[in-house]
Amino acid sequence: MDQIRLLCLFSIFYVASVVVGIGYANGADDGKFRMSYWNTAFPKSPLPSKAVQQLLNLAGETSNTGFGKQALNLAPEIPINSYGSSKEETPAEPDLTTFFQGQDLQQKGKTVTLRLLKPTSNKATLLSRQVAKSIPFSSSKLPEILTYFGVKPNSLAAGLMKQTIEECEAPAIKREGKYCLTSLESLIDFTVSNLGKDVGVYTTEAETDKKQEYSIETTGVQSIGDKIIVCHKENYVYGVFYCHIFYDRTTKAYMVPLVSADGATKAKAVAVCHMDTASWNPKNVAFRVLNKKPGNTVHVCHFLGTTSLLWVPM
């Protein structure tokens, strides 16, 4: 019985692989579909920046690295999306500015140290809805998933995949809705259902991926809004966006201009500030970094990475 079940599973995966292969072989047609779906969903919204288009692969560019274990980034960015997590995660590079407080955005001369990776650091491509639905995505199916993608159970890659699925399955914290979306259509539909058809979408953009000290240009800090959806691109064998929406509007977003000490390097970073952290797990790494405890007046801010998106109604 187990052999029959496994054979059926592999049959599904084979069909999915064929469909994905057709999509890659006809990148132009895939691009037309993606652009058409975007324009239909957001008829009042201009096309997003080139960085966002690249992240969503709106052009449908042919890729050999966006699907399968070769799409995994074995040195992922620091996970900052699990606000209710009980894990006390340790930043990979302790001298980076992982968290800060809201008043820092208005403090003249405030400096931050960031490593803003290239968007291509996460090569995983969003699948079509039809293909994404045909592939299991759950902890209970992890052994079969690893077998199909040729990932050894005790490897680093398997651990990253397991972590992504577990984060997606974890319950949302109070006043938050969270969803993991695995196709361009589902990502767009989720945004439309929550924000409408007139939206703006932002991501952090940088000129270099080297660790850099930046000064915040406080006079240029721009408030984006407090009705937002934040989507983090997860580390997985195909495109997965962990999206959450904050229903009480106590989370505010800003576009922050940054400039290096010598003025030679600039960046535009999306900052998200959580104005009420009372429902967060006390063991969250943010409180250790800031030497604070959860509270409705304790603000925790962080910059979004270059593989995250922020959506707001226009």
In DSSP terms, 114 is beta-bridged to 212
User: pLDDT value at position 76?
Assistant: 56
Helix (H, G, I), strand (E, B) or coil at 247: coil
Q: Mark the ranges of the chain whose per-residue pLDDT is less than 50.
A: 1-4, 6-26, 84-90
Q: Where are the alpha helices (DSSP H) in 136-284?
A: 142-149, 156-169, 184-195
Closest CA to 229 of 286, 176, 169, 305: 176
pLDDT of residue 15: 43
Percentage of residues in the chain with pLDDT exceeding 70?
84
What backbone phi and psi angles, to 5 degrees, belong to 265? -125, 135
Token readout for 115 is: 């490593």
Ordered by start, the domain boundaries in the chain are 2-313
What's the whole-model pTM score? 0.85
pLDDT at 267: 93
- Residue 164, token pair as written in the block: 């992504």
Give the per-residue pLDDT at 86.
Answer: 39
Contacts of 40 (CB under 8 A, 6+ apart): none
| Dist CA 30 CA 185 (whole Å) | 12
CA–CA separation, 277 and 109 (whole Å):
27
Interatomic CA distance for residues 304 and 78, integer angstroms: 11
Where are the alpha helices (H) located in 66-155, listed in sequence order? 129-134, 142-149
Instruction: Report which of 310, 311, 313, 210 is spatially closest to residue 267, judged by C-alpha positions.
Output: 210
Q: What are the start-end ranges of the H helices in the chain?
A: 2-25, 27-41, 50-56, 129-134, 142-149, 156-169, 184-195, 285-290
CA dihedral in degrees (77, 81, 85, 88; nearest 10)? 30
pLDDT on residue 174: 75
Q: Are 261 and 203 in contact (CB under 8 A)?
A: no
At residue 92, the pLDDT reads 52
Q: What is the pLDDT of residues 249-290, one digit of tens each?
A: 889 999 999 999 888 889 999 999 999 888 888 888 889 889
